[in-house]
Structure 1
């Protein structure tokens, strides 16, 4: 049934427009204006793209000011996201499916699954540059967390207790560092950095597998959704002796 005040339904009304856009695209013309030519596999000319981007940015700004989801335009957005929970989960599933297809294609070609430009290192899925980037990102996160704990007046190691006078560590952490097992090369714990594959979001660096599992549960992610970068301590190989 057509809407009130119209002679055609939405599908019939859109059919001539779709046919016109298809003819323009086949002729290499912009689908919007039909005057300028397109390039780079695009369907719009540069002028129409700029106008579309301006309208989209204005729409996004209006929805952001109203505090509504950018996906459905109806539900309120989550505090730490631009989307509501259903739209965020749906977007994650879509991005993850695309990422898996792309990663499998790159892995089959022997390329780094992150950048897709350089060969992956033997035994790894990433190139040296991407591995160094993840390491640097994890180190920057660790330093930022230590700075935040220091500014908050907490121990930079555990973040649970205030530090001792003149130090950055609390009493228990300092005693553990000065204990017999820390003489020589310290047997530091392993650290695990969680990177969401679909979005590249860093979900933090954790020292135990229990903390890692808790972070995944809090973010509603599975092991298939993330890449876990392990920073293994030098003395870890001797623990089983």
Structure 2
């Protein structure tokens, strides 16, 4: 049998002991729950004890609220039905509002915020995100939540017009003050722009489109199409020319004394455009040799079946070469050329000097020919060509470039006048008018002579009528 049979007496003793212990802990500034840690600011318990209590209170609150809502009662008191349009009943709403007003007044009088600012901001952000997602899924305006959203937008026309008017006013005010991005934080706007740009570039790259324009397919092995790459090259060259003319560093735009290309800082930093040309050439040769040994394209690095370049890179290079030749510019540096030459004067000199000994070059070509023939490769492009010297495309180009394929050129016809009686020949003449003059001066009739033309019968039959 229990020693303390009187429940009320035991409860009174426990309550008295709890009050005495709480008073002692409060006097020492300790948590009333555990009595070990200091209390949280404005609280009677420490933060760990408060968190435990909050978790238990939340669980009990959610369970009790679910039961009361299922029964159609006020979730706060559970005794009356909720007021029309409200979650709680009228007495509970009045008590809650009065308690909130009293708490806010007390905190303001003490100079303390009514809520924790950080927690309030986090709650509002989460609430706005949730509300935005719900309204967007429902197809209504995410601002007012009443009207239908515009097609392809998230706001109704009224809210969109208000936003536009507000943005115009904000930008005008910021422009008058000399502020960028409409007065917003420049770093935040730039960060958001870079993030959006990366996201857009990744989507376009995954779709195989140019990451710059998004309209044309990207060059194989590259991230941009050829027009965008060429535009970027032209813009970079134009910028470099302007900076060189102004005596500035072509990289950072700071003054470069002595007519140099780079300033002292850019010249000392590592980078492809600022390294020693000999080092750059050596690295290019090494990369070329590695890709050739793997059988990859020496331009983009994609598999090329042993050829020096893949078909895509060859086609791109040919199109670029033809376009520059048609434009009358150097095929290497794009400087203007004269008399239809492929290279400008500096590039032509550089190319001639880089060729070195012609005999050594011919010997290297003969050795390359023998090696490719032994490996069963095309002697021109290096593609697989077992049993024959050239693959089909190279053989076709080689045959079409020969004189046999082109045939005998069509020369201008000539005429010879032969007298039938004596066999004497007059001519040859380049024009038919000369033949007529010969007959007139020789007093010869058409029946006394034979006029021979060296034009082929096919050329005569297929010639354009006069």
- Same fold, TM exceeding 0.5? no
Greater helix content: 2
Higher relative contact order (CA 8 A, sep 6+): 1
Q: Which has the larger radius of gyration?
A: 2
- What's the TM-score once normalised by structure 2's chain length? 0.24
